[in-house]
Amino acid sequence: MPEGIRVIAEKCKGCRLCVPSCPYGAIEMHGKLAVINDKCVLCGACVGPCKFNAIEITVAKKEGPKKDLSGFKGIWVFAEQHQGKVQGVALELIAEARKLAADLKEEVAAVLLGDADIKKASQELIHCGADKVYVCADPKLKSYTTEPYCDTIVELIKAYKPEIVLMGATTTGRDLASRIAARIRVGLTADCTGLDIDPEKKILRQTRPAFGGNIMATIISPDFRPQMATVRPKVFKKLQPDASRKGRIIEFPAKISEKSLRVKLLEIIQSTEKKVNLAEAEIIVSGGRGLGCAENFKLVKDLADVIGGAVGASRATVDAGWISQFHQVGQTGKTVSPKLYIACGISGAIQHLAGMSSSDIIVAVNKDQFAPIFNVATYGIVGDLFEVLPAMTKTFKELLS
């Protein structure tokens, strides 16, 4: 057993609960005793799942004086905006925050940063469920850069003490949340796909996929406030805007130190290809190696066009140069969860599944009936995609017109 962790033999009941909890396969059963082998990296993932407290990280656990956390109230959502337009994930998070707020009997606030024009976006946030909008308007906040945004939000947190802060698990959300959490010493859970409130302890339970989506972990930050999480886009549904909803707008001055301007944004480059923001797409049609060559991606594009979907791709097709990397779905590409994902000629390697298995409905077309993609498919079609795809495109086109 590696140093730093131990199984307390008297407490271990041999229930095996810890075995699947280890992402590294480092726990073996020796009869009725769990034994940790040297694959262990001391990640601590097995400690919580053991119902008998039989596994301990053998570092003296120091219990400091409990901090008073009662002053922290309210659920905040970072209203990520690009060129003045609030991103969909922010509205989705406001909707989810409303549910959490109902359990906690607290308010939902949106945090909106931008230049002077940004105030206009406040009403949309209120109509979609925010009780309050904190607006920080400053020319230096027009486009996102890490430290000016971090400085301002940290000051806002210090001033108003929220209990929970949520951001989209976008490039911006991940960049910003990480810096804030490090600065104010709070817990941050990345890329959550589930949030709920522990009914007894009234703390936020954050559930996220780990290990390429093969394991789910529920994480808490019991002793630090605010509790912070980034949340995967498209997991929650935004509310229908209600123009009669009223809310308060609270203006807050940006507080940016001179030092924080040390990264200069020189240029924003729009993609030259048709926009492929897969993370925000409601429908994705993806092609894999089964297409055979670059030209056959046309079959995928045709179907996508008919149903208003974006085009995705497996890693194999990107590596083969059939389509640009911006279309890649999977662990080394984009993580998506659209309403509908149609996988064409994709076998379903574990890395691909990690990027799309949280989609609502998955349709798989593959000629190999044993392809792993069928394990996650809502509707499986075992067949030749060169027959099935054109038939789908033609039929869908007729029926939609």
Partner 1 sequence: MNIVVCIKQVPDTNDVRIDPKTNTLIREGVKSIINPFDENAVEAALRLRDAGGGKVTVITMGPPQAADALKTAIAMGADEAVLISDRAFAGADTWATSYTLSQAIKKIGAYDLVLFGKQAIDGDTAQVGPGVAEFLDIPQITFAISIESEGGKIRVKRQLEDTSEIVEAALPAAVTVIKQINEPRLPSLKGQMRAKKMVIPSWSAKDIAADENNTGLNGSPTKVVRIFTPPPRGKSELLEGEPETIAKTLFDKLKEQKVI
Give, as ranges, the residues between 335 and 374 that touch partner 1 (CB under 8 A). 339-340, 350-351, 353, 357, 360-363, 370, 372, 374
Q: Which stretch binds partner 1 (CB under 8 A): 16-24, 101-109, 248-256, 294-302?
A: 16-24
Tell me which residues in 85-114 interact with partner 1 (CB under 8 A): none
Comparing CB distances to partner 1, the nearer of 239 and 250 is: 239
> What is the sign of the dihedral through the CA atoms of 293, 297, 299 and 300?
positive
Contact with partner 1 (CB under 8 A) among 164, 291, 300, 392: 392
Contact 235, 359 (CB under 8 A): no
Q: By C-beta, is 244 or 401 nearer to partner 1?
A: 401
What six digits make up the tokens of 91?
């509205």
Q: How many residues does the chain have?
A: 401
Which amino acid does the sequence have at 163? Answer: E
20 binds partner 1 (CB under 8 A): yes
Interaction of residue 314 with partner 1, rule CB under 8 A = no
For 320-384, where are the alpha helices, taking DSSP H only? 350-356, 373-376
What is the distance between the alpha carbons of residues 371 and 236, in angstroms, rounded to a whole number?
Answer: 29
For residue 66, the 8-state DSSP code is P
# chain residues binding partner 1, by CB under 8 A: 122
Q: What are the start-end ranges of the E strands in 14-155?
A: 27-30, 33-36, 55-57, 75-78, 81-82, 85-86, 108-114, 132-137
Site track 162-191 with partner 1 (rule: CB under 8 A), x = hit: --------xxx-xx-xxx-xxx-xxxxxxx
- Assess 307 for contact with partner 1 (CB under 8 A): yes
> Which of 250, 283 has the CB closer to partner 1?
283
Nearest distance from residue 268's CB to partner 1, in Å? 5
Question: Should residue 376 be labelled a site residue for partner 1 when binding is judged by CB under 8 A?
Answer: yes
* Distance of closest approach, residue 191 Cβ to partner 1, in angstroms: 6
Pick the closer one to partner 1 by CB: 3 or 295.
3
Q: Is 400 helix (H, G, I), strand (E, B) or coil?
A: helix
Min dist. Cβ of residue 248 to partner 1 (A): 30
* Residues 49-88 interacting with partner 1 (rule: CB under 8 A): 49, 57-62, 64, 82
Asked whether position 157 contacts partner 1 by CB under 8 A, the answer is: no
Q: Kindly indicate which of the ranges 99-107, 129-137, 141-149, 157-165 contains the residues binding partner 1, using the contact rule CB under 8 A.
A: 141-149
Residue 253 binds to partner 1 (criterion: CB under 8 A):
no
Instruction: Please state the separation of Cα 398 from the chain's center in Å.
Output: 36
Dihedral-angle region of residue 322 (phi above 0 means left; psi in -120 to 50 means alpha; beta otherwise): alpha
Residues 6+ apart with CB under 8 A from 344: 285, 286, 287, 288, 290, 291, 299, 300, 303, 365, 366, 385, 389
CA dist 385 and 324 (Å) reads: 21
Cα distance between residue 8 and residue 84, in whole Å: 56
List the interface residues with partner 1, window 194-233 (CB under 8 A).
Answer: 205, 209-224
Output the smallest distance, CB 235 to partner 1, in A: 13
Q: According to CB under 8 A, which one of 15, 29, 48, 119 is a site residue for partner 1? A: 48
Q: Mapping DSSP to helix (H, G, I), strand (E, B) and coil, where does residue 8 land?
A: coil
- Does 35 bind partner 1 (CB under 8 A)? Our answer is no
Smaller CB distance to partner 1: residue 129 or 187? 187
